[in-house]
C-alpha cells in the first residue's frame, strides 16, 4: 500500500506549520506499519491534545482523540478490552510528561503492551510556546521570556526508571531510523517508549534563535550519536540514539487474564 492509503486526506490541509517535525514522524510511523504488514483494522491510535496528537486524526486506522494528557489512560482501557490489537499512542512532550506524567510512569511500570511515541519538541506548540518539562534549563519560551530555570527530564532515563521494557530515542533527521525503531517497538510485547526529537521552528526554534527547520534538523544530526558507535566513543558528550532497553517481563493484559481465571476458579469452588 502507498503511504497515502493510510491517511484520511479529507481532513487535509493539516494544521502543522511549514517545517514542523511532526509530519516526518507521521511518515515514519506509517512506513513502520506498512513494513510490518499490519492491516488498518489491527491498529488503534489513541492521542490527547497537541500539534503532535493531531496524528491520530490523520491516520485511517481505529482512532481515539481524547483529553490532553490522558491518552495512556484511554489506551489502557482499549488494550485491556481488546488485547489482540496494536495500540499506538502519539504524544507531545507536554501531553506525555507534564499533564500526562503520572499516567506515563504508571503505564510504564505496569508493562502494558502498547507503543508510546513521545514527540519531543521541548515546547507546548499548540497553545503558543509555553515551556514544558522538556524545555530544559536556560531556554526561552513564551512563558519564560527571561529564561527558563526548570531542569528538563531525560525521557529515556525516566522511562527506564519507571520500568518501560523497550526504550529508544531517535530524531526527525534520522527518518529511516524512525520507522526501524517504531517497527521494533510495535513488535515488543510490553510497554515501549520511542522518544523522537522533533523540531518546532515556530516557537522553540524562534524563541531560542535556532534558525530554520533545516538548521534544527542539522543540529539533531550533528549533536546525536548512535549507541555503541565509534562516534559515541569519540563524543561522549553528545546525546545517544538507538535502543537503550529491550527486555522481557510479564505483560499486564496476560497477567490480568490470570487474575480473572484465579477469581473464577475461587468463585466456582465456592458454588
Ligand X SMILES: Cc1ncc(C[n+]2csc(CCOP(=O)(O)OP(=O)(O)O)c2C)c(N)n1
The crossing angle, in degrees rounded to 10, of helices 71-81 and 252-270 is 50
The β-bridge partners of 207 are none
Considering only residues 206-265, where is the footprint of ligand X by CB under 6 A? Answer: none
3-state DSSP of 199-249: CCHHHHHHHCCCCCHHHHHHHHHHHEEECCCHHHHHCCCCEEEEEEEECCC
Report the partner that residue 148 touches, choosing among ligand SF4, ligand X, none (CB closer than 5 to 8 A by kind): none
Residue with smaller CB distance to ligand SF4, 194 or 213: 213
Determine the Cα–Cα distance for residues 104 and 134; give it in Å rounded to an integer.
Answer: 14
Determine the number of helices (DSSP H) and then strands (DSSP E) in the chain: 11, 8
Burial environment of residue 192 by CB neighbours within 10 A (0 to 12, 13 to 18, 19 or more): buried
Contact with ligand X (CB under 6 A): which of 125, 133, 190, 205?
A: 125
Residue 58 engages ligand SF4 in binding (rule: CB under 6 A): no
Stretch that binds ligand X, among 94-102, 151-159, 227-235, 257-265 (CB under 6 A): 94-102
Strands 239-246 and 224-226: parallel
User: At a CB cut-off of 8 Å and minimum separation 6, what does 10 contact?
Assistant: none
Instruction: Look at residue 27 and give the partner it binds from ligand SF4, ligand X, none, a contact being a CB closer than 5 to 8 Å depending on partner kind.
Output: none
Q: Does 121 bind ligand X (CB under 6 A)?
A: yes
Written as nine digits, the cell of 120 is 519531543
Report the nearest approach of ligand SF4 to the CB of residue 25 (Å). Answer: 11
Stretch that binds ligand SF4, among 12-20, 95-103, 159-167, 250-258 (CB under 6 A): 12-20
Rule CB under 6 A: choose which of 51, 91, 118, 178 binds ligand SF4: 51
Least distance in Å: CB of 123 to ligand X? 6
Q: Which residues bind ligand X (CB under 6 A)?
A: 49-52, 68, 92-95, 99, 119, 121, 123-127, 132, 200
Contact residues toward ligand SF4 (CB under 6 A) are 16-17, 20, 22, 51, 121, 125-126, 200-203
Amino acid at each position: 500500500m502507498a503511504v497515502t492509503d493510510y491517511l484520511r486526506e479529507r481532513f487535509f490541509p493539516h494544521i502543522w506549520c511549514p517545517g514542523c517535525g511532526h509530519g516526518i514522524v507521521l511518515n515514519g510511523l506509517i512506513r513502520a506499519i506498512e513494513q510490518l504488514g499490519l492491516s488498518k483494522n489491527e491498529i488503534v491510535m489513541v492521542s490527547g491534545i497537541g500539534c503532535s496528537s493531531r496524528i491520530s486524526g490523520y491516520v485511517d486506522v481505529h482512532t481515539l482523540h481524547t483529553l490532553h494528557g490522558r491518552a495512556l489512560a484511554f489506551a489502557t482501557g482499549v488494550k485491556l478490552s481488546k488485547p489482540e490489537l496494536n495500540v499506538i499512542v502519539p504524544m507531545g512532550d507536554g501531553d506525555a510528561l507534564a499533564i500526562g506524567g503520572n499516567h506515563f510512569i504508571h503505564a510504564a511500570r505496569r508493562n502494558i503492551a502498547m507503543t508510546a511515541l513521545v514527540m519531543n519538541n521541548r515546547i507546548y506548540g499548540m497553545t503558543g510556546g509555553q515551556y514544558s518539562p522538556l524545555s530544559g534549563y536556560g531556554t526561552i519560551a513564551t512563558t519564560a521570556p527571561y529564561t527558563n530555570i526548570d531542569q528538563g527530564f531525560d525521557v529515556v532515563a525516566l522511562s527506564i526508571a519507571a520500568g518501560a521494557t523497550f526504550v529508544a530515542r531517535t530524531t526527525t533527521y534520522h527518518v529511516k531510523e524512525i520507522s526501524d525503531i517504531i517497527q521494533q517497538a510495535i513488535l515488543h510485547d510490553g510497554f515501549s517508549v520511542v522518544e523522537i526529537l522533533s523540531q518546532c521552528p515556530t516557537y522553540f526554534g524562534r524563541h531560542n534563535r535556532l534558525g530554520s527547520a533545516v538548521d534544527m534538523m542539522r543540529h539533531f544530526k550533528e549533536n546525536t550519536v548512535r549507541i555503541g558507535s565509534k562516534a559515541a566513543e569519540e563524543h561522549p558528550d553528545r546525546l545517544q540514539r538507538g535502543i537503550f532497553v529491550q527486555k522481557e517481563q510479564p505483560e499486564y493484559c496476560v497477567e490480568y487474564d490470570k487474575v480473572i481465571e484465579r477469581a473464577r476458579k475461587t468463585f466456582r469452588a465456592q458454588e
